[in-house]
Structures are given as structure tokens and as C-alpha cells.
Chain A
Amino acid sequence: MASEKLSSEAEVEEYLRKSLANRVSQTMYKEILSEVLKTWRKHGLYIDELKAIADEVVKRYEGSIVEPGEPVGTVAAQSIGEPSTQMTLRTFHYAGVKEFNVTLGLPRLIEIVDARKKPSTPYMEIHLVEEYSGSEDKAREVQRAIETTTVENIVKKIDIDPFTGITIVLDKEMMGDKGVTINDVSKALEKLRLGEILADEAESTISIVPKELIDFSKLEKVRRNVLSLRIKGVKGVKKVIIQRRTIQREGREVEEYVLIAEGSNLRDVMSVEGVDYRRVFTNNIREVEEILGIEAARNAIIREIISVLEDQGLDVDIRHVMLVADVMTWSGSVKQIGRHGVAGEKSSVLAKSAFEMTVQKLVEAALGGEVDFLPGVAENVIVGQIVPVGTGMVELYVKPGLREERDESSQ
């Protein structure tokens, strides 16, 4: 090769920057630079060779860019839809996190795109701050603070008598396990306003002397109220388990304890001592939207869909999923993608009537004096025009003055 060899790393970088900067994305540039430098250190590089690499990169990159008019939505729908048929026949419910069930597979995917108010199996992933994440005892402390403990969890025996009142015998072992003292219990019981509370610490017995006779018909109800009384924990979070994970931190393998919670309450869990509020995650997308905003909800949608697909061993390009998330969050709140597409987005009368209730839709449109500007694919197929996709989208304007008007009408 006739050309010169590159003499220093700086020169390689300089040359690569000149030929690639602003033509490919930042991440890509960084990656290519590191690869090129690796090769240069090993074998050296000629200017011609680097030029060939840069040209090829730009060619490939530009070839991968979406062209104007490409129906990305349709492609995304097909790219997610087809693999989804593969998972239908497999898992519906599956013990994902050992101890409790998590909806996975197609039902979960449908749930996400439907933008339900609450997932059928809400759960949270709670990371802890560094001082807590390394030790199991500390993690247990946080677990106890978050996990809901009701009277039912720690009771050995409960007697209820309309004349003498309620006697609760507590299980000491369970109390120790949950980190509850008898004082906690009596304090919580005060909220029910059943009467005077007498706690006997040695016998771990609590008796409640009612102010008046308890109505016979209400005995069972009172019993249930007492048993389901929440002593401590975060509302809405039922069971919390501790998971041990091995992660990479500063190049070393470190053990980290992570809490997985059944049920979800982002706001309250975020302010619990020991919890790293930057890394509290939930699978409840509506909750993310409400507490962390629409951009976080977008991230949640992407993450959830990808995790469902990956879990099923399906390989779907993330860009399709990102498009779905973008469309769902476009209007500032999470919109569902149902049978009618993204709710309320379809403006064409013909497209609407092509789907369901043809006559009604047409009559309604006629009564309302609606105008169809034929913006989409379906309506153009109906009237026999070229669909506005790919080259069909190209329109030529002769008079610049007309442009304004056309823009108005096609929206």
C-alpha cells in the first residue's frame, strides 16, 4: 500500500473524527474509535485502510436509517405481533420470582399495551443504598419496614366474647421474626376504637374491654377487622422477599441484596430509610406515570415489553418497542393501544367504517357533516388512490402559496 502509516493514537482519532463526526451517532463513533485504536495498537494502520473503514461505516449507517415514507408503525406492529403468536401457547402464569406468581407472556404483553390501571400482579424491585445492600441483616431491616404485617400474621389465638371483650394471644416467635413489639400492636389497635386496651407483656396477651356490649351480629365483622389490622409496613405492599445478586461494581464482583415486593406503592417505598429511591422500580406503568412523569412511564413501557419478550426467548428489535412506547405516551398521558389503534387517533370516516359498525359510522359522520381528507392507508385503498406510504407519499407542489392551505387541510 502506497499511503502512509498512521503514527500516533491522536492521529488516528483526528482522522477518524474528520471522516465520521456528525455523520454517525455519538455512541457509534465512540465504539468504532475504540475498535480502531485496538487494531492500530496491534497491527498499525495505513491511512487508506482507515479511510476504507470510515467509508464502509458511513455507508452501512446511512443504509440502516429509516427512509422517508417508510411505514414504521406497520413494520413495528408486525415485528412485535408475529413473535407474540409464538408465546401464546406457552406460559400464562409462571412463578417468576420463586415465591410468588407474576403474570408473564402474552397476558402481560396485552396488559401493558392496554394501559390498564393496575397490573394483575403488581410487584416492585427495590434496590438499597450502599450501606444496606451489602449486608443481609440490614436488608432484612428494610424488608420488615416495608412488608405489611397484620395482626393475623402474629396471632396465636383470638377470642371474642360479647360480654368480656376480645382477647388476643400473640405468637412471640412470629413477633420476633417480623420485628413487632406488643406496644406496636396495642398502638395499632387503638385506631379501631373498640374500647380500653390492656396489654400483658409477659403473657404476650392483649385484651380489649369494650365500652358497651358488642352487637352479636357484628362479632364476626369485629374479628375480621382486628385480624386484618395493619401494624406496620407500607400500604399496598404485601410480601417482600430478599434476593441475593452478584453484580459488578468498580470491576469487582460484589454481592448485593435486592428486595422484591408483591404489590406496589412507589411513593411510600421511595421514602423508606435504607431504600435507594433512584432505583425503586414497579411494573405498574400508570403508577410510574403518576409519580415519576410521562418520560419515566415511557421507559417503564420499554423495559416491561422488552423483559416480557426476552423472557420468552424472542428477539425483537428494541426500536419497534420504542416506537410503541413513543406512540402510547405522545399525548402526555399513557394511552392504550386497543382494537381501534391508539385511542381516538383515527380521524378518517372511511377508515373507521372499514372496521366495525360500518353503517352506523357512516350515518353518524353524515349527520355530523364530517369531512374525510383521506390521510391514511385504509381510506385510500377504499377510494382506489395510491396509499400515502413510501413513494406514494411524495407530492409535488407548484405554487408555494398553495402549501399553507394543504398543510391545514391534511391534519
Chain B
Amino acid sequence: MLRSKSKKADILEHEWVPKHEVLSPEEAAEVLKELGVKPIQLPWIKASDPIVRAIGARVGEVIKIHRRSHTSGETIVYRYVVVDVE
């Protein structure tokens, strides 16, 4: 879909894009247990999000994001891949 893949411009390397990582179901379950939330209570990310497509995540999976925080170095946040309703 995106030309960037073939034309060496990889959006995953853009300075504004933090590292996204798909969690395996086991890892996801562990994270959810530790946070004490249901997946739907995590912040969402759309299945049509360019980054989700680039890393090949699917609806229902949890994505681990390594944000470069302005206040505390690296922070880890999670997003739940949801169906794009719009």
C-alpha cells in the first residue's frame, strides 16, 4: 500500500514514530493481569493505522510501545488493536 516500503523510506524509522511491538497472547495476558484491566480499557490503536499494518498486527492483539518520554526517558505503554469503525 505505502510506497515507502519499496522506496527505502521506512515509516517505522521516522523520528516521531516510537518502537511498536506486537505482544504474544501470553505476554498480553500477563500485562493485562499486572495492570488489572480488560484489553478494551487500554488505549486503542486502529487496525488501519499505518504502523499497525507495517508491523503486521491484527485486531485483538496488544501492542507494546516504547515511547521516548520528555520527562522520564523511555516509558512503556500499551495499545489495543481495534477494528476501524469510521
Contacts and interface: CB of A to CB of B under 8 A. Distances in A.
B72 A28 contact: yes
Given A292-B16, A293-B51, A27 B43 contact: no
Interface residues of B, number: 34
B4 A277 contact: yes
A331 B44 contact: yes
Interface string A290-331: 111111100110100000000000000011001000100111
Contacts of B51: 292-296
Most B CB contacts (10 A, CB to CB) among A25, A288, A295, A322 go to A295
A92 B8 CA distance: 40
B62 to A, nearest CB: 13
Contacts of A295: 16-18, 20, 45, 51, 65, 67, 79
B71 A270 contact: no
B3 A271 contact: yes
A347 interface: no
A131 to B, nearest CB: 15
A304 to B, nearest CB: 11
A330 B44 contact: yes
B56 interface: no
B86 interface: yes
Interface residues of A, number: 33
Contact of B73 (A26, A294, A299): A26
Interface in B17-68: 17-18, 20, 43-46, 49-52, 65, 67
A332 B46 contact: yes
Given A271-B9, A318-B71, A319-B71, A332 B49 contact: yes
Interface string A9-42: 0000000000000000111101000000000000
B35 to A, nearest CB: 14
A279 interface: yes
A142 to B, nearest CB: 14
B14 A333 contact: no
A278 B43 contact: no
A267 interface: yes
Most B CB contacts (10 A, CB to CB) among A30, A267, A300, A302 go to A267
A293 to B, nearest CB: 4
A333 B65 contact: no
A300 B9 contact: no
Contacts of A326: 43
Nearest to B17: A296
Interface of B: 2-4, 7-11, 13-18, 20, 43-46, 49-52, 65, 67, 70-74, 79, 82, 84, 86
User: Which 7 A-B pairs rank lowest in CB-CB distance, beginning with the nearest?
Assistant: A27-B73, A293-B51, A332-B44, A296-B16, A277-B9, A25-B72, A332-B46
Given A28-B72, A290-B50, 6 more contacts: A26-B72, A26-B74, A270-B4, A278-B13, A319-B71, A332-B43
23 contacts: A27-B71, A28-B72, A270-B9, A277-B10, A278-B13, A279-B15, A281-B15, A288-B16, A291-B2, A291-B50, A292-B50, A292-B51, A293-B49, A295-B16, A295-B20, A299-B18, A318-B70, A332-B43, A332-B46, A332-B82, A332-B84, A333-B46, A333-B86
